[in-house]
Amino acid sequence: MKAFARLFDELDASTATGAKVEALKRYFASAPATDAAWAVYFLAGGKPRQVVPTALLRALACERAGIAPWLFDEAYQAVGDLAETIAHVLPPAAVPSDVGLAEWVEQRLLPLRGTEPLAQAERVAQYWDELDAGGRFLLTKLIGGGFRVGVSKLLVQRALAEVAGIDPKLVAQRMMGYTDAKQMPSAARYAQLLAAAGEHSPGDSGQPYPFFLSHQLDLPLAEFDAKLGPPTDWLVEWKYDGIRAQVVKRAGRVWVWSRGEELVTERFPEIVALAQALPDGSVLDGEVVVWKDGGLGSFNLLQQRISRKTLTKKVLGDAPVGFIAYDLLEWAGVDRRAQPQVERRQLLEAALAHAPGLQLSPLEQRAGWAELAQLRESSRERGVEGFMLKHREARYGTGRTKAEGTWWKWKIEPLRVDAVLIYAQAGHGRRASVYTDYTFAVWNRTPRDAAEAHDAIEAIAPRAVPQPDALQLVAFAKAYSGLTDEEFRRIDRVIRATTLEKFGPVRSVRPTLVFELGFEGINRSPRHKSGIAVRFPRMLRIRDDKPLAEADTLQTLEALLGAR
């Protein structure tokens, strides 16, 4: 654990890519393979399910530290991270040890699951007593299933590749599915990652390929021709709002992998049934969507579908899924990723002739970018997010690289609303103790004038019960992204200076700030006070120029609902 804790500290402390890769290489070069196998698992985002409930960890930490729960909570508010709070409140280790990571996980942590609470508490307390603050922090993160570290999978792959002297892309491919919960990391699996080229191939397994990710296109239309060339150089497709997935057909079996490298085959029996018709040695890239009555269903429906654990007849009937294929990575058992996009497209069309139930992502062709831009305006009605632009010559790259060619996402502009900040809460991690998570409101109707808006705001502090027809602010969205650190600091100061009341970690403020919020979608929701739920809300800018009385209203939101 000490070696892994040191690696974590080095990765956590540094922002320089080179330093991170060096730290990873030092670790991989010296760690026993059994430990390194688990290190790769955690660094690549693997999360074992939570083995001990948070409430038990918290109560146990209070008991061991000899402090009252309220005092623990005060500390937690300042720290902003439960595992870190626990790590620091406990007394120093009484019986220091240096047990390896694999033993920690396999012999100690995983057996905790399902153990009765008293025995769990006893063992966790013993474990804490063997570690310093850094080790405890990690242990508690691992127990709680909340481990995260500031290193990308690409860097881990690069470090492994440099240690083994092989191509990082090969490591990337071998690592696909490594973090899937159904298979435990082991020295043997770790050795497979590092084996020389040609020694291990995914031929007879369900292993997918690393996903190729797209880049946001932020370019004025006028510059499209100059920067991108004519539209005929590109394959233009709609950008679907579903779940990115790979469908693998090999050795008579079908596997479905999500972009999070989770094996999701069992959740989508419809896709498995359709993909059985593909010949062995086929791998498709595409989007899982709700496909109903011969058309695209909403993302909302898809979300309802994936939140269900058991697939009853009703669930399958309400939200049947389909697969829209847009790329082909393997055909006839041969890796096709180095072939140009346009060739892969032809092969894809041929492949889907075998499995007609799978949808082919249609191509859109227009004379110029302006015509395409006009067509893009219909995205919201179609239930899609805009266009994907894929260069005819693009190879299929690994991750968010541009080396192999580029995929652009040309998304529609977000919906926008000017809203008023009414509540704030401190963030977590590096935003601990800074107010960064905000609740926004709109007016229930248009204020008659600035004076009426002023009176409505003055009525908030004394918690006056408003008249039924009175002007009020209605909460409708939470957002915590989109501002720079400096802007957050400025807003944090305003929040502290305008606080009306504190409810635990939440503060209500006397409204003084208007923000332009952007969001991707809008739906009715009986669960929200405003009756409206927005999708992926974020702050676009602070509207210092906008008086409170000119913020938007519920009617603005209604109009957006109607427009879709």
Partner 1 sequence: MSLVDDLVVLRPEGLYCPPGDFYIDPWRPVERAVITHAHADHARVGHAHYLAAAPGEGVLSARLGAVDLQTLAYGAAIDHFGVRVSLHPAGHVLGSAQVRLEHRGQVWVASGDYFVAGAADDPIEANATCAPFEPVRCDCFITESTFGLPVYRWAPQRELFASIDAWWAANAAAGRASLLLGYSFGKAQRILAGVDAGIGPIAVHGAVETLNAAYRAAGVALPPTRLLTELADKADLKRALVIAPPSVQGSAWTRRLGDYSDAFASGWMQLRGARRRRSVDRGFVLSDHADWPGLQRAIRASGASRVIVTHGYESVMVRWLAEQGLQASAFSTEYGDEQEARTEASEAAAAPEANR
Residues that bind partner 1 (CB under 8 A): 12-15, 65, 67-68, 70-72, 74-75, 78-81, 84-85, 88-89, 92, 429-434, 485, 489, 492-493, 496
Q: Which is nearer to partner 1, 50 or 499 (CB)?
A: 499
- The 3-state DSSP class for residue 430 equals helix
Q: Indicate the DSSP class of residue 517.
A: E
Amino acid at residue number 364:
E
Question: Which residue has 């009853």 as its token pair?
Answer: 312
Smallest gap from Cβ 96 to partner 1, in A, equals 13
* Whole-angstrom distance, CA of residue 129 vs CA of residue 132: 8
Amino acid at residue number 52:
V
Smallest gap from Cβ 88 to partner 1, in A, equals 4
Q: According to DSSP H, which parts of 80-186 are helical?
A: 82-89, 101-103, 117-128, 133-144, 153-164, 168-175
Smallest gap from Cβ 146 to partner 1, in A, equals 13
Smallest gap from Cβ 101 to partner 1, in A, equals 20
Smallest gap from Cβ 156 to partner 1, in A, equals 20
Q: Which is nearer to partner 1, 382 or 489 (CB)?
A: 489
Q: Which is nearer to partner 1, 139 or 557 (CB)?
A: 139
Question: Which residue has 């079996």 as its token pair?
Answer: 253
Q: Which is nearer to partner 1, 141 or 158 (CB)?
A: 141
Q: Which is nearer to partner 1, 93 or 301 (CB)?
A: 93
Instruction: Identify the bridge partners of residue 236 per DSSP, sorted by sequence position.
Output: 389
Using CB atoms within 10 Å of the CB of residue 116, give its burial: 0 to 12 exposed, 13 to 18 middle, 19+ buried: exposed
Q: Which is nearer to partner 1, 119 or 497 (CB)?
A: 497
Q: Which is nearer to partner 1, 264 or 434 (CB)?
A: 434
Q: Which is nearer to partner 1, 332 or 497 (CB)?
A: 497
Smallest gap from Cβ 76 to partner 1, in A, equals 9
Q: Which is nearer to partner 1, 32 or 146 (CB)?
A: 146
Question: Which residue has 């481990």 as its token pair?
Answer: 147
Give CA angle at 499 (496, 504), nearest 5°: 95
* Whole-angstrom distance, CA of residue 166 vs CA of residue 193: 10
* Whole-angstrom distance, CA of residue 51 vs CA of residue 6: 24
Smallest gap from Cβ 478 to partner 1, in A, equals 21
Smallest gap from Cβ 150 to partner 1, in A, equals 9
* Whole-angstrom distance, CA of residue 264 vs CA of residue 254: 11
What is the token pair recorded at 257? 């992998």
Smallest gap from Cβ 485 to partner 1, in A, equals 8
What is the token pair recorded at 61? 């930490």
* Whole-angstrom distance, CA of residue 40 vs CA of residue 151: 11
Neighbours of 260 (CB within 10 A): 12
* Whole-angstrom distance, CA of residue 407 vs CA of residue 212: 8
